[in-house]
Every structure is written in C-alpha cells, then in structure tokens.
Amino acid sequence: MENNLKNRLRYYFENTISAGPIGVIKWLGLISLAIILVLGLLIIIFGIKDDPSANESIGFIEGVWKSLMATLDPGTMGGDEGWPFRIIRFSATLLGIFIISILIGIISSGIDEKLDELKKGKSKVLEAEHTLILGWSEKIFSIIEQIIEANTNYKGRAIVILAEKDKVEMEDEIKAKISDFKTSKVIARSGNPLISSDIEVVNPNQARSIIILSPGRGNADIFVIKSVMSFTNKKNRKSEPFNIIAEIKEEDNLEAAEVAGNGEAVFVSTSNLISRITAQTCRQSGLSVIYSNLIQFEGDEIYFQTQKEIIGKTYKEILGLYDTSSIIGFFTKDQVLINPPMDTIFKQGDQIIAISEDDDTVILDGISEPEIKKQVFNELTITTNNIEKTLILGYNKNAKTIITELDQYVAPNSSVAILCEEEINLNDISVTNQTVTRQFGKITNRKVLEEIQPENFDHIILLSNNDIDIQESDAQTLICLLHLRNIGAKFNKSLSIISEMRDLRNREIGLVTQADDFIVGDNIISLMLSQLSENKDLKKVFDVLFEAEGSEIYLKPIERYIKTGENVNFYTLIERASMLNETAIGYRIYAQKDSSEDNFGIQINPKKSNEITFSSEDFLIVLSED
C-alpha cells in the first residue's frame, strides 16, 4: 500500500511539474504553506516569545503570520528579540529566500516563454483582402516588392506569409532586403502550409489572392499540389472560388495540378516559362528588358478594359484612339486575340488588352485626326531567315527545353554547340532545324572559351549551375561573362549574350560588363506570380506571347517601316506597322543600348502624339507573327 501511494504521489508530482510554470508555482505555494504552519506549530509547542519580557508566548495565528512575513521579506526580522524566536524567524527567512528566488526565476522564465510564443505568431490573422504567400524561397522578396508596388493605391493592405521558418527570422530578412513598405504591411506566421490548422491561422477565406511557392526540395510539385488541395477540398472553405497562383517545376505534373486546382488555381510552369523566354530573347537583343518591363508593376503594365464606345470598330481603327495607351489585342469570351487581323471587330462583351500606366489611364484620349506622314513610309523589303549558330555555355535542366523551343524559330541547317562539364545524352534532344554538338570543358576557363571561338556564334546563352550555392553559381556566370566580353572586345565584335542569373542583386555587378540582357530565373517567375495574383487572366495573354505560334514581340529595324532622319509621331509608326499586319508598341534607341538609366534604349507605350527622330540603327518594337 505504501509503495502504491508513493508511486501515485510521485506520478501526480511529475504531472503537475510537467504542466509548466503554473504547476511549479502551485508546489512552491504548498511547500511555503507547510513550512509556515510547521514554524507556527514550533512556536506554540515550545512556547517561544517574540519578546523575552512578555508573560505569554505568541499565539499560533500570530506565529504563522510572523513566519510568513519573514519568508516574504527578510528585512522584517531586524528588531527580533530572544534567540529561540530569532532562530525560528531566521529559518523562515532562509527558506523564504530560497523559495522566492525559485518563484522569481519561474515567473521570469514563464514571461520569456510567453513572449517567445507571441513572437512566433500563433494568433489568427484578422486581415481581409490580403495577399497570402505560402512557403519561403528567394523569390519571396521580389514578390513582396511587386505586391507593395501594386498596393500603393490602397492604404493598409496586408501581405501575409506562412512558412516553416521562424517568424522573427522571416521579418528580419524581409526588413534587411526591403526598405520601403509604402502603404502595405507585412505579417509573418510560422507554420506548415500543408497542415489545415496552420493555414487557418492566416485567414485564407478572406484573402484576395493566394501565392504558393515551390519549396526547395525533391518532389517539390507534390507539396504544391497538396497545398492547393488543402484549399479547394477543405470543409470550412468559402463559397466563392479561391484565387490561387502556384508554381510547378516539372511540366509533367501540370495536368495533375490542374485537376487539383479545380478551376480555382493558375499554375506557372517555371522551367517551361524560363526556357521559352530564353529561346526568344537570345535571338533579339533587348527583348528580355521588354518582357521584364511588361511583367512588373513599376511603369506600364498590361490591363483589360471594357469600353462601350468602341463596340463595332475594327482593331485597326481602335489602335489610334488611345494616345497614352497601346492596344495589343482583344479579350473575348472564348479566347485571347493578340495582334488579331486588322479588320477584327470589337464586339459586345469583349475587352481590350492594353499596355498602360494604370487601369484608370486606359482612356480614349487619342487625337481625332493625327498627322500621319505617309511620305516617310519605306517599301517593305523581303528578308529571308538566315542559318543561325547558337552557343550554350553550361547545362541545367532547362537546356533541353531551350534547344527544342529555339528549334521552332531558327532556319533549317542551324546549329547548337554546348560547352559544359555535365554528361549529356544528345539523342534525348529532339530537333528538326538544328544540329546539336557537345564539348567538355569549364565555362570559366579562358583557354577553353577561346578554343570554342564564341566570336563566331550568332547567339550565346549562358546558363547557371543549379546544383551549387546561388552566389557561387552567379560568380561563375559573371566570370564567364567577363571573359566573353573581353574576347568580343579583342575581335571588335559585340557578342549577343543572354545570361541566366539566380540572384537579382548580382545583376548590378553584371551591368559593369555592358550586358543589357539578363534572364534572372527566380526574378522572372516572381514577377509573373505577382502579376497573376492581381489578375489571373493575364496567364492567357502570356501564354500567347511566349508561344512560338501566333504573334510574339519582335524588335525590327526601323528602316523596314520609315525613312530615318525625320521627325515622326508614333501614330505614323502604328499606321505603317498595321499595313504589315503588325502592332507597334514601342521602339529602341540603339545609341542607348548600354545605358541602364535609359532602360537600355527601350521605350514601351510611348505617347503617340510626341515626335521623335530615328537613326538607321534604331528598332521598332512590334507584335508580329514572324
């Protein structure tokens, strides 16, 4: 029986202690009470007096009270008389110092634990109409910057982040990389984006959009798809559709992701997107700058607008009705029409697709009868596609897709040469218009680069190494880029180079080399995810622009359209381009091609009434089928 009672008492003691500070405080209180009562009894039993001259000993209640005071405040025993009473009070004081010290430590520890818990951000987010970001990667900083820019017209909009990372660490990293939050506020919460109870903390039902980032681990797409399903299939979800934007790394997983999304999610195939943009931009200097301008919130962007005044008008007529916006197509109930035939009629229910400074600047502000200088029109000269030689330096998982995408643009008998250290099975690369060869070597080795003769290639694609640290990978890219520019200067030739970088901040270093085109992989994806979070219908526009079929963006020599050396307004260029079934959306001043301050000479959506004089080296930026 004794052993059983002992075990039960020990079990009870351990349970209360493990309950936290409250349990420990409870035991300290009981121990203190027991000590005070024992000391009070000792005073009664031995007849101890607090004053030796007194006739009677102090009572039990008074003894307990004085023992309690000595326990709580050692200073109260300074005037005690009589050694028996002093010994009792001294014992109470020593025990009191021990107990109070423990109590202070427990309370302090409990407060620290509570503060740490509050710092972890476990309380439910009460924001509404917020942008919710699930997961954490290097892309998150560009995404936050873009959403901050998009929120400038709305005071107090929140960006809420849920990731498996310490809340304080997330906040510190964000503050270190983003200095101005403008009208937005950023709220971080620690939690697992795959667990429903953690997701509920960030109030997903009231979020205006949800961005799901791909984690940096194997089978990342599985985690993204499961995260999407945690919204579309959860029991206490809102009745309206979610606005979910997610990235998928492997195109093979795209079909499964679409099924999981159930029409409420838009997916960006990251490897496919980067491959398509690289294939297009490597053939046209300045094109990557154009794409970056169009998919970021600074400057001019793509908007959809319903305007009843233009119902029944043709696409060609509509192009000249806007002075400060550039019309690029129609968004109908059935499809997106980019650079449609000039006689396409704008119908009831259609929306125009425009490049403009903001959604409220897409207005009918065009000049009713602008001056169109037809006398400067040049006759169209027929050009044939030339055989193209492309050099790929480095190799990653996107290389194969880049080569197959490039195959859709180049003329037959073109070629691709690959210089890398990785093992490649060339038989896995399916091409029709190109031959593919491979040479082993380091892309940072100057001697190896000189042997491959980069000056003899039409285009050079410099790919990053995704198997090593980001900064080390970008350092290799920059070293190779420096060698290439130096080789180009040696032969007095400006090499056409597309450089893939993984960290946007390293682009500033790369500009020293006079390179105007960079495909910063994560940054392009970040810009795309941010744009789609504001309007997921943009995905249909980007799909058309980045596909080989249909109309894409081209930079074409200005002399294809007009005679140079004369002042012309942009209405004149729109008219001349429309005669070739093309839509003019901007121009590039070649003399500014190396100036980052002048956006490398790129001007998208110029005011049409302004006049400009072009040189023979300049380009017109158009939407065209070839």
pLDDT in tens, 150-171: 998 888 899 999 999 988 899 9
pLDDT at residue 514 greater than cutoff 60? no
* Listed range (16-25, 408-417, 420-429, 489-498) with the worst mean pLDDT: 16-25
C-alpha 108/C-alpha 104 separation (Å) is 6
pLDDT at residue 343 greater than cutoff 80? yes
Q: Supply the CATH classification number for the domain 389-521.
A: 3.40.50.720
Edge-to-edge strands of the sheet including 209-212?
Answer: 185-190, 158-163, 131-134, 209-212, 244-248, 265-269
Edge-to-edge strands of the sheet including 351-356?
Answer: 301-305, 351-356, 326-331, 336-338
* Maximum average pLDDT range among 54-63, 80-89, 309-318: 309-318
- pLDDT class for 250, splitting at 50, 70, 90? confident
By the 8 A CB rule, do 270 and 220 touch? no
pTM of structure:
0.79
Percent of the chain with pLDDT over 70: 79
Strands 434-440 and 414-420 come out as parallel
pLDDT at position 500:
86
Average pLDDT over the chain, rounded to whole? 85
End-to-end CA distance of the chain: 95
- pLDDT class for 72, splitting at 50, 70, 90? low
More confident residue, 205 or 251: 205
By the 8 A CB rule, do 76 and 70 touch? yes
Helices (H), 364-441: 399-406
* Listed range (212-221, 415-424, 491-500, 559-568) with the worst mean pLDDT: 212-221
Q: Which CATH architecture has domain 2-119?
A: Orthogonal Bundle (1.10)
Calculate mean pLDDT across residues 179-190: 92
Segment (H or E) for 116: helix 83-119
φ, ψ dihedrals at 245, nearest 5°: -120, 125
Helix (H, G, I), strand (E, B) or coil at 552: strand
Helix (H, G, I), strand (E, B) or coil at 252: helix
Positions of CATH 3.40.50.720 in the chain = 131-263, 389-521
Task: Please write the tens of the pLDDT for every residue from 90-143.
Answer: 666 666 666 666 666 766 676 667 666 666 667 889 999 999 999 998 889 989
* Listed range (27-36, 136-145, 225-234, 433-442) with the worst mean pLDDT: 27-36
Fold (topology level) of 131-263 = Rossmann fold (3.40.50)
pLDDT at position 135:
93
Calculate mean pLDDT across residues 403-423: 94
Task: Please write the tens of the pLDDT for every residue from 210-243.
Answer: 999 998 777 889 999 999 998 988 888 888 999 9
Task: Please write the tens of the pLDDT for every residue from 587-615.
Answer: 999 999 888 888 989 999 999 999 999 99
More confident residue, 119 or 455: 455
Positions of CATH 1.10.287 in the chain = 2-119
pLDDT at residue 67 greater than cutoff 80? no
pLDDT at residue 515 greater than cutoff 60? no
pLDDT at residue 190 greater than cutoff 80? yes
pLDDT at residue 1 greater than cutoff 50? no
Burial 204-220 (b: 16+ CB within 10 A, else e): beebebbbbbbbeeeeb
pLDDT at position 202:
93
pLDDT at position 16:
65
Calculate mean pLDDT across residues 411-416: 95
Calculate mean pLDDT across residues 565-594: 95
pLDDT at residue 313 greater than cutoff 50? yes
Calculate mean pLDDT across residues 207-212: 96
Burial 607-625 (b: 16+ CB within 10 A, else e): ebeeeeebeeebbbbbbbe
By the 8 A CB rule, do 418 and 446 touch? no
More confident residue, 298 or 614: 614
* Listed range (237-251, 483-497, 517-531, 602-616) with the worst mean pLDDT: 517-531
Residues whose CB is less than 8 angstroms from the CB of residue 381 and which lie 6 or more positions away in sequence, other chains included: 560
